[in-house]
Amino acid sequence: MGATTLYKAPRGTADILPAEQRHWHYVEERAVALARRHGYQRIDTPVFEVAGLFVRTVGQETDIVQKEMYTFEDRGGEEMTLRPEGTAPVCRAYLEHGMHNLPQPVRLYYFCPVFRYERPQSGRYRQHHQFGVEALGDADPAVDAEVIGMAWGLMQDLGLRDLSLLVNSIGDSACRPAYLDRLREYYAPRLEALCPDCRARHQRNPLRLLDCKRESCQPYALEAPRSADHLCPECQEHWQSLLGHLEILGIPYRQDHRLVRGLDYYTRTVFEVHPQEEGGQSTICGGGRYDGLIQELGGPPTPGIGFATGMERMVLNLQRQGVAVPAEAPRPIAIAHMGPAGQREAIRLARRLRSAGLTVVVTPAARSLKAQMRHASAMGAAVTLILGEEEIRKAEVTLRDMDAGRQESVPVEGLEARLAECTPRPQ
């Protein structure tokens, strides 16, 4: 990739090459199957939205809004933003299409690219892909448990090991303000000892002091007042009920009172899944409840909860853990041929076999049979059909089993059935 390459994929974006597709399809397949088993339906929203949608819901103070959004003015002079997260658009769609008239909760899943202007590093991109689910219109803690169970279940289905599930409750508009005051009070006499970032956040966003990763700030965060200890009765009941459901489901959660989240719309339940070994961008999955979001968008008070997972991070962990994933494509049947007549027949035969559902590749023309065989072998062909003068005259093909190294003459008539017998197995 020298200067000879005129264009490159933009920084922080990546081509997903054929060699990696098997992992992607594996994850997508399992995720979709999981969502369907739980009665979730797919929704696709536009790649860009009016900027205000995100500013309003994600929060003016968040990093996403302050420095990470791809916002541009379209030709009509409107401020548009490339989707930096998946929840707000889904809620917008819920409202726009009157989904509150459907049986509640409305269960939706999505699979989409999201964009954030950040410095890329391992497991972090400017364009990445998320699979997520949202359950809208039901405040029952059982729904929280369902969604958390799905997040955890997906990881199990994928075969990922050594993950931890962290949960916390950060209260709601009734109890959080008082808790935030308690936090500020607690931190006020300790400001001197904190890092500059934390000092700056003390007034604006004290919750974030809790998840500061600086060694020197850790001890204070550990001993800080816990949100779960300062919940109003309703939130407390919700929280206890959720924990009860998680116990019943046998989901191995860990309470982490330092778990907050970077988006403002979360209420009550928040959770994350990450690999046990820390370091780098570890969060595979994050989510929580957002009971005020739809109201914030001008809709009726409507509770909601969901999560999003990063495709790239799941794939990364699959590869790190060496999880075996099924082959992407079946092994092809190759057709080698000689002479102009041979090529004509090869192309015709290929079309016929394909319409019977077989995977067929015609070997490159203008090469010796030797070269064509070499090519067939390199393509991973399970079977090679050879078509030359002789075969055409007799209305036969030479069928060579590439693994066994044996071949025989068979009539073209009824070839499909014969080929179906030697079903090409995955590589």
Partner RNA sequence: GUGAGCGUGGCCCAGUGGUUAAGGCGCCUGGCUGUGGCCCAGGUGAUCGAGGGUUCGAAUCCCUCCGCUCACCCCA
Contact set for RNA, span 370-409 (CB under 7 A): 370-371, 373-378, 384, 386, 388-391, 398, 400, 402-405, 407
Residue 231 or 315 having the CB closest to RNA: 315
H or E element: which one contains 45? none
281 forms part of the interface with RNA (CB under 7 A): yes
Rounded (10°) angle between helices 311-320 and 18-37: 110
Q: Which is nearer to RNA, 123 or 330 (CB)?
A: 123
Report 307-326 residues binding RNA (CB under 7 A): 308-310, 312-313
Query: In what helix (H) or strand (E) does residue 29 lie, and over which residues does it extend?
Result: helix 18-37
Q: Is 17 in the site for RNA (CB under 7 A)?
A: no
Which whole-number Å values give the CA distances from 328 to 21, 23, 426, in the listed order? 7, 8, 8
- Residue among 92, 128, 257, 289 that touches RNA (CB under 7 A): 128
User: How far from chain centre, in Å, is Cα 285?
Assistant: 9
**CB 212 to RNA: min, Å:** 6
Q: Any contact of residue 2 with RNA (CB under 7 A)? A: yes
CA atoms within a 13 Å half-sphere pointing along the CA-CB vector of 173:
8
Q: According to the binding rule CB under 7 A, does residue 279 interact with RNA?
A: yes
Q: Please list, in sequence order, all residues whose beta carbon lies within 8 angstroms of the beta carbon of residue 352, skipping any fewer than 6 positions away.
A: 416
Burial (CB < 10 A; 0-12, 13-18, 19+), residue 175, is: buried
Cβ closer to RNA: 302 or 309? 309
6, 18, 204, 213: which one binds RNA (CB under 7 A): 213
- Is residue 369 a contact point for RNA (CB under 7 A)? yes
Residue 39: what are its φ and ψ, rounded to 5°?
80, 25
Count residues near RNA (CB under 7 A). Answer: 72
Closest distance of CB 389 from RNA, Å: 4
Q: Is 288 helix (H, G, I), strand (E, B) or coil?
A: strand
Looking from the CA of 83 toward its CB, the CA atoms found within 13 Å total 20
Residue with tokens 């015709």: 348
66 belongs to the binding site for RNA (CB under 7 A): no
Contacting range for RNA; rule: CB under 7 A; set: 5-13, 72-80, 170-178, 235-243: 5-13
- Tokens 């739980």 belong to 38
CA dist., res. 172 & res. 183, Å (int): 15
User: In the bound complex, what is the minimum distance in angstroms from residue 377's beta carbon to RNA?
Assistant: 3
Kindly tell me which residue out of 51, 53, 82, 284 binds RNA, with binding defined by CB under 7 A: 284
Q: How far is the CB of 196 from RNA (least distance, A)?
A: 10
From residue 162 to residue 191, the character string flagging contacts with RNA as x (rule: CB under 7 A) and all else as - is: ------------------------------
